[in-house]
Amino acid sequence: MNLKIENNLIAGAKVELSSNSSDRNDKIDLIVLHCISLPEGEYNNNYPKDLFLNKLDFKKHPSFESLRDLRVSSHLLINRDGSLIQFVPFNKCAWHAGQSSFEGREDCNKFSIGIELEGTVKESFTDQQYAILNDIIGLLKREYPVKNIVGHSEIAEGRKKDPGPYFEWKRLND
């Protein structure tokens, strides 16, 4: 796929802008990979999107109640079928990392791009997800001085487990 960035957004991606973002002053040099499914292990619904847009109906599932006060987002969500949604322009901080640190720097939101994969730490990801993820990583490396690609578990050790043991790092064209 021939991706390009226009106005800090991936051209052709579906865009659903989240208010869960802030201004960015730091240089982007890190990509953080996550996974999400709501409820866990259930796919092909709008619940992750609704969470990032502060529209999640907490009555839809008992597990959603724990998310009530969260204000989170990611730059991108890659669905199981490889479709892409962008929630935050790259020139802004998405609120994906939470309390985090990488190589002695705190608050990874300031200098990273967060990419969510629709999935769970208990299952494999799809070929379509790896294909578009590789295209996105290539694009981001051309546009920004990205030095590292890490999992959420690496920057929030002990607090987060994603993208989990089923994420195949060797499938990245890094």
Q: How many residues does the chain have?
A: 174
Residue 105: Cβ-neighbour burial (10 angstroms; 0-12, 13-18, 19+)? middle
Q: Give the active site residue among 6, 103, 106, 116.
A: 116
**DSSP per residue, 112-134:** EEEEEEES-TTSPPPHHHHHHHH
116 a catalytic residue: yes
Single-letter residue type at 111:
F
CA distance 125 to 142: 25
Which positions are catalytic? 116
